[in-house]
Amino acid sequence: AQSVTQLDSQVPVFEEAPVELRCNYSSSVSVYLFWYVQYPNQGLQLLLKYLSGSTLVKGINGFEAEFNKSQTSFHLRKPSVHISDTAEYFCAVSPNTGFQKLVFGTGTRLLVSP
């Protein structure tokens, strides 16, 4: 079974500052990793995914994440945030074989203020 831990329930940051949202996972098998974003009153939208290959993954809206197998982490970063990045961010993991059900973390609310 897989599990995901997002330690920060809320991250406040000023506009144009850098941000890192932390994600750690646990799994006995190899996994795929995902970050989804949920804007207010909307469903989830895929930001980026790691399947294999380069450990640095670039996504939409200037976000990137780095897969670290030894630390079982997949932290999300953006060098300069905008007010419009205010949203809830979910890290998710699935096994890379069999039926690939997603297991989600509890989410991190990013609050960007001017």
Partner 1 sequence: DVKVTQSSRYLVKRTGEKVFLECVQDMDHENMFWYRQDPGLGLRLIYFSYDVKMKEKGDIPEGYSVSREKKERFSLILESASTNQTSMYLCASSLRQGVSQPQHFGDGTRLSIL
Beta bridge partners of 10: 109
Residues 80-109 that bind partner 1 (CB under 8 A): 90, 94, 96, 99-102, 104-107
| Minimum distance from residue 14 beta carbon to partner 1 (Å) | 25
User: Quick one: which of 29, 51, 56, 111 contacts partner 1 (CB under 8 A)?
Assistant: 51
Burial tier of 54 (Cβ tally within 10 Å: 0-12, 13-18, 19+): exposed
Residue 53 interacts with partner 1 (CB under 8 A): yes or no: no
Residue 71 interacts with partner 1 (CB under 8 A): yes or no: no
Tokens of 114: 């001017």
Residue 57 interacts with partner 1 (CB under 8 A): yes or no: no
Which residue, 17 or 51, is less far from partner 1 as judged by CB? 51
Beta bridge partners of 108: 89
Which residue, 6 or 19, is less far from partner 1 as judged by CB? 6
Residue 34 interacts with partner 1 (CB under 8 A): yes or no: yes
The stretch near partner 1 (CB under 8 A) out of 14-22, 29-37, 54-62, 63-71 is: 29-37
